[in-house]
Every structure is written in C-alpha cells, then in structure tokens.
Structure 1
Amino acid sequence: MQDKANLRRAALARRKALPAAEIAQHSQQLCDQLFQHFPVAEWRWLHLFLPLAQYNEPDTWLIIHRIWAEGLAVRLAVPVVQADGISLRHYELTPDTPLHPSHWGISEPAATAETEVPAAAFDAVLVPLLAVDRAGHRVGYGGGFYDRFLAQCRPETQLIGLSVLDEAPVAAIADVLPTDVPLTACLMPGGVWQF
C-alpha cells in the first residue's frame, strides 16, 4: 500500500513526461469514453474543471465543445476557488461566458449570484485526479477542495474521475481519511473503472 504523497509525486512525474500529442489523444479517448458509457444527454447539470495545460491535465474542452456542438440540454458548471483558499463555488459555463485567469492560472468565469450553481444540483461531477484505488478513493493535488465539494453533492450524483494516465487503479491508498469521498467511476484512456 502506498500513501498519497508518494502516489502524487510519482503520478505528477509520469504525467509531466507525457508528450502533448499523447495528452491530446488521451483527452479525446476520455471524451469518447464519457459519451459511450454515461447518459450525458440525460443529465441536467454536469460539473467539470477547466484544464491547466501546463500540468498536462485532461483537456475537458473537448467534452464541453461536444456538448455544445450536439446541442445537448445538459447545463455545465465549473469551479472557482474562493478567497478563503479552501473552498469552491460553482458557476454556469455557456458559450458566451467570459473567462479570466485566476492567480493560479485557472480560467474562471465571473462569479455572479445569477450564475452560481449549488452543489446539490449536479447529476455528475468530472473530478481531476492523479491516482485512484480499487475502492474509488482518489489522490488529487492535496488541497482537499474536491472532497469538501463532493461531500455536498447528492448521494446519487455520479462522481467520475478523469485520468490521462492509462494505469489500473492501485490496490489501496494507505492514508484514506474519513472525509475522503470515493468516486463512482474513473475514466482512463483505455476504459472505465466502476467502483
């Protein structure tokens, strides 16, 4: 069993080593997996993150643009890190939403009361991760943002990890916390793991 710090360090190094063409190919495979294995058109609200290209994150813009191109009714929302540095709020993303970079370099929509979406609204959440175990526990960047957010979602919300690394889940993460919220599934370029 490995702990989160070691898994995080190793996964970041492997992901950083991936060439841009491979990130693009794997991101397209993740998009295809999502539409093949999940009822995207039936969801009312989908939460996803906007990618940090410099960290070789999955390119979720492929999913966003496909939803818009196909005219699906599902509405999209993205997170905005709050000034407290520990929490997220969520705002609708449309083709007309202006985006600006946060001080972390993350594209974020303008935060307005009219476009804020409560965590309980989401039918599915696409979750960034570096590693996952066979019970659906994930290793993220270590800030705890997503665990606090996922705990606020409805029990039936689909919590779907996205990984550009095509690696099977590890057997178990040694230092899972009681506050860690397990995923219901994880998309990898080669397939889908259900938990």
Structure 2
Amino acid sequence: MARAGLSPQVVVRAGADLADEVGFDEVTPSALARRLGVRAASLYSHVGGADDLRTRIALLALDELADLASEALAGRSGKDALVAFAGCYRDFAREHPGRYAAMQVRLSPEAAAAGPGGRHADLTRAILRGYGLTGVDETHAVRLIGSVVHGFTTLELGGGFDHSAPPPDRTWSRILDGVDTVLRSWAAPS
C-alpha cells in the first residue's frame, strides 16, 4: 500500500528538488526514499525505478521551462523575443541546476513524443517568425539557438568563465547581439 501523501507527482517533484540540491547524477530511488522518510521499495508504487524516475524528472523540468519560456515570449518578437527566451533558459539553469541537467537525458522515442520537448521547438520557432525564417532554414536556426544557449549556459554553470574578464553577462549580451545579426541576415547558401 502506498504511503499517504505520496503520489507520482509528489515523488517526481521531490526528486527534482533533490537534483537541484545535490546534482541530478546523485538522485537515486534510495536517496529520494531517505529524503521522503520511506523505504525505497515504497517509491516503486509511484515510479518504475531509477530510469523511470530520471525520465519523469526530465519531463517535469522540460514542462516547467516551457511554461516559463512561453510566458517570457508573450507579446514579444524579433530580438526582444530572442533575448527573453535565451534569458529564461539561462535563469532556469542557474536557479535549477539539477532540473537543467535532467533535461539533457536522452528520452525514449515514446517519452519524447508524449513529452513537452516539442513545445521547446515550437517556442523557438515562434521567435523565428519575427525573422521570416521557414523550412530548412528554420530548422537550422532552431539548432543554432539551442546550441548557443545550451553551450554558453553549460560552460557558465561549470565555471568555464570564472577566471577571465569581461564578466559573462557582457559576453552573453554580445552573443545574443551576434545571433540576432545572423538571424536577420540569414540566407540559404546557393
């Protein structure tokens, strides 16, 4: 019988909170059970094991970030939308490093199809409407934005910019200026 107060949602949210505190790689059913004051076996009525827990944390984080990015993009276009979107991702990663790490988990095709990953691509495509990009150019640009935002954020979280000047915020601003310039002048090669 399941412990009163526990549900799949409660267990997954507690796992995500634990990931933010100790790192996503440290989240295991036994560590989470200790946090919740239950035996690890009690969690298995709510999640299907370590892989299922990790997948569910990833899906929760993707969903949370998609909600925040959607709010950040509302009423914005062009560079304003790009800056809001990128800033939302960077802020989320800083505030929720374990959740952000969880978002890098390779999802099964079934989990990916049922999950919020498509919302992120749709949100990025919404930015690109302000630049007039369509078709394959749009796909390339979605990948560019994702690579820039994730690459910078991952390096920053890992301390990659801690020992040099100027401060990362100035570089971040310059990078987004550069991405805006690229997107405004994007043309498929002949």
Q: Scaled by the length of structure 1, what TM-score is found?
A: 0.28
Which has a greater percent of strand? 1
Greater RCO, 1 or 2 (C-alpha within 8 Å, sep 6+): 1
Q: Which has the higher helix share?
A: 2
Structure label with greater radius of gyration: 2
The normalised TM-score by structure 2 is 0.29
